[in-house]
């Protein structure tokens, strides 16, 4: 198969229209069979639930090319499961795991020419999403839904080396107790745009959000979970019912325990404790781990001991091991890799 003529290592994280996408519709209580389409435009009611009341959720995962040329995905069963949880909370029909996997296999296979080759650092980003497409004017769940999966090649997250970022504690909250912080809802991102823009305008890469109830404990950034390393080499990650259960974080916790023999604590992390950690990172599908070099909270500046030049040794080892698993260079735990081609 001929790959597209793209300078793979130079592309960024942006949308590029590819050849095929998968779509299925839910009507009258059931899903259509669904299948590949070439049209990148979706026509829906002007009164669609997604347009009026933000009834939508999504997922994000990647397809990787291994050294032997095979194309794989990483733990997509967890994305299918998480999309189902998000759907239930937003009163949308669940996408059956069978359909999710069929969509994944078909969409990636059909777009194989768009999957970046091994060694370029680039990957194919997969974006499944689900939304209310039928009309509602009184507040209610939409009468019909669309499940759509698109793919777009994305470049290496770190061009020219991994550089620690500077972040700030936000004056805004991300998620309320018993709210929707633990699901991947579009609405969680709409409301984070303003605090995100504010942070960027002040020179920060990301916001650190604290728990809305007490504003004393660390939650997450707008799109990544936190990892901390203690002086005695333990991995600590915040536990809260209002953070999004990152698949990368859950995988890194397993890698830390089972591959690196680290002690791991999943618990409440008071902001007051942050100054005592020796390495700090944020994790998610996009970068696996990004190191944090400085955290500002008003006038208080916390300089992370690992510094502004490089990622600390524990997070580096963790990242290298997980990337090794994703790229086929380290043996994966049973069931973590789904081979597509
Ligand atoms: C998607 C997401 C993450 C990262 O989850 P991964 O499954 O690791 O990609 C973290 N926080 C939020 C709010 C998210 O939406």
- Written as one string, the DSSP assignment of 312-332 is -HHHHHHHHHHHHHHTTSSPP
Q: How far is Cα 55 from Cα 53, in angstroms, rounded to an integer?
A: 6
Compute the average pLDDT of residues 234-253: 98
Number of domains in the chain: 2
Helices (H), the chain: 49-53, 76-89, 97-110, 186-190, 193-201, 247-258, 313-326
Q: From the alpha carbon of 59, which atom of ligand 1 is closest?
A: 1
- pLDDT one-digit tens code per residue, 301-315: 999 999 999 999 999
- State the number of CA atoms in the 13 A half-sphere of 92 facing the CB: 31
Residue 51 lies in a domain: yes
Residue 335 lies in a domain: no
Residues 149, 125 share a domain = yes
Residues 134, 179 share a domain = no
- pLDDT one-digit tens code per residue, 124-146: 999 999 999 999 999 999 999 99
Compute the average pLDDT of residues 25-33: 98
Which active-site residues does the annotation give? 184
Residues 172, 131 share a domain = no
Q: In CATH, what number is assigned to the domain containing residue 110?
A: 3.30.470.10
Residue 237 lies in a domain: yes
Residue 159 lies in a domain: no
- Tell me, yes or no, if the pTM score tops 0.95: yes
- Ligand 1 atom 12: the closest Cα is on which residue? 223
**Confidence at residue 161, expressed as pLDDT on a 0 to 100 scale:** 84
Residue 255 lies in a domain: yes
Residue 340 lies in a domain: no
Q: From the alpha carbon of 250, which atom of ligand 1 is closest?
A: 8
Q: How far is Cα 156 from Cα 282, in angstroms, rounded to an integer?
A: 17
Could you list the residue range(s) of the whole structural domain that residue 84 is in? Answer: 8-154
Residues 143, 203 share a domain = no
User: What average pLDDT does the structure give for the chain?
Assistant: 97
Residue 333 lies in a domain: no
**Helix/strand/coil for 166:** strand
Share of the chain above pLDDT 90, in %: 97
Residue 147 lies in a domain: yes
Q: In CATH, what number is assigned to the domain containing residue 277?
A: 3.20.10.10
What's the CA-to-centroid distance between 137 and ligand 1, angstroms?
31
**Confidence at residue 159, expressed as pLDDT on a 0 to 100 scale:** 83
Residues 113, 233 share a domain = no
What's the CA-to-centroid distance between 261 and ligand 1, angstroms?
25
Residues 259, 121 share a domain = no
- pLDDT one-digit tens code per residue, 45-61: 999 999 999 999 999 99
Q: How far is Cα 164 from Cα 136, in angstroms, rounded to an integer?
A: 46
Q: β-pairing, 21-27 with 145-154?
A: antiparallel
What dihedral angle (degrees, nearest 10) is formed by the CA atoms of 167, 171, 176, 182? -10
What's the CA-to-centroid distance between 5 and ligand 1, angstroms?
31
Share of the chain above pLDDT 70, in %: 100
Compute the average pLDDT of residues 198-224: 97
Under DSSP, the state recorded for 103 is H
Residues 75, 33 share a domain = yes
């Amino acid at each position: 198969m001929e790959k597209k003529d793209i300078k793979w290592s130079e592309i960024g994280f942006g949308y590029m229209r590819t050849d095929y996408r998968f779509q299925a519709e839910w009507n009258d209580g059931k899903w259509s069979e669904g299948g590949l389409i070439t049209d990148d435009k979706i026509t829906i009611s002007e009164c669609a639930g997604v347009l009026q009341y933000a009834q939508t959720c999504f997922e994000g995962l990647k397809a990787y090319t291994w050294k032997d040329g095979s194309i794989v995905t990483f733990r997509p069963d967890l994305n299918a499961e998480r999309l189902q949880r998000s759907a239930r909370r937003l009163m949308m029909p669940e996408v059956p795991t069978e359909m999710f996997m069929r969509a994944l296999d078909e969409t990636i296979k059909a777009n194989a020419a768009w999957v970046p080759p091994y060694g370029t650092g680039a990957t194919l980003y997969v974006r499944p999403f689900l939304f209310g497409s039928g009309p509602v004017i009184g507040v209610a769940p939409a009468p019909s839904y669309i499940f759509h999966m698109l793919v777009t090649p994305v470049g290496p997250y770190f061009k020219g080396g991994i550089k620690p970022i500077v972040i700030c504690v936000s004056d805004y909250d991300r998620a309320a107790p018993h709210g929707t912080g633990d699901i991947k809802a579009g609405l969680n991102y709409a409301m984070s745009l303003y605090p995100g823009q504010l942070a960027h305008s002040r020179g920060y890469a990301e916001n650190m959000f604290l728990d809305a109830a007490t504003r004393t404990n660390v939650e997450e950034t707008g799109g990544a979970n936190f990892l901390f390393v203690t002086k005695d080499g333990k991995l600590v990650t915040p536990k809260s019912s209002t953070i999004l259960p990152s698949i990368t974080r859950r995988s890194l916790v397993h890698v830390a325990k089972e591959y690196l023999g680290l002690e791991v604590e999943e618990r409440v992390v008071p902001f007051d404790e942050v100054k005592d950690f020796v390495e700090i990172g944020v994790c998610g599908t996009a970068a696996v781990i990004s190191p944090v070099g400085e955290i500002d909270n008003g006038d208080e500046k916390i300089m992370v001991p690992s510094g502004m030049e490089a990622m600390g040794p524990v997070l580096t080892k963790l990242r290298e091991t997980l990337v090794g698993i994703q790229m086929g260079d380290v043996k994966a735990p049973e069931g973590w890799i789904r081979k597509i081609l």
